[in-house]
Amino acid sequence: MDFITRMIKYFLSWFSEKTEPTIEDPPISSEITTVAKKVFSKYLDREVTVHLFLPPNFSNTKFDYPVLFLHDGQDLERMDFTKLLSTAYQEKALDFHLVAGIVAEDRMQEYGTGVIEDYAGRGNRSAQHNDFILKELLPLLQQEYRARTGDFQHSVAGFSLGGLAAVYLAWKHPKYFRTVGVFSGSLWWRSMPYDEQYPDANLIMHRIVDTSTKRPNLRLWFQAGTNDETSDRNQNGVIDAIDDTLFLIKILKNLGYTDDEVKYLEIEDGRHEPATWAVAMPDFLRWVGKS
Q: Give the domain ranges of the chain.
A: 32-290
Q: For residue 193, what are the CA distances in angstroms to 160, 182, 200, 255?
A: 20, 24, 11, 27
Q: CB neighbours of 233 closer than 8 A, spacing ≥ 6?
A: 194, 199, 200, 240
Greater confidence, 11 or 153?
153
Give pLDDT tens digits for 20-67. Answer: 333 334 345 558 999 999 999 999 999 999 999 999 999 888 899 999
Distance CA 65, CA 214 (A): 26
Residue 287: pLDDT above 60?
yes
CB 163 within 8 A of CB 157: yes
Give pLDDT tens digits for 87-139. Answer: 999 999 999 999 999 999 999 999 999 999 999 999 999 999 999 999 999 99
Distance CA 207, CA 246 (A): 14
Its pTM stands at 0.88
Superfamily of domain 32-290: Alpha/Beta hydrolase fold, catalytic domain (3.40.50.1820)
Amino acid in the structure at residue 20:
E
Residue 17: pLDDT above 50?
no
List, in sequence order, every beta strand (DSSP E) within 184-261.
Answer: 219-227
For all residues of the chain together, what is the average pLDDT?
A: 90
Q: For residue 17, what are the CA distances in angstroms to 4, 25, 26, 81, 260?
A: 20, 17, 19, 43, 45
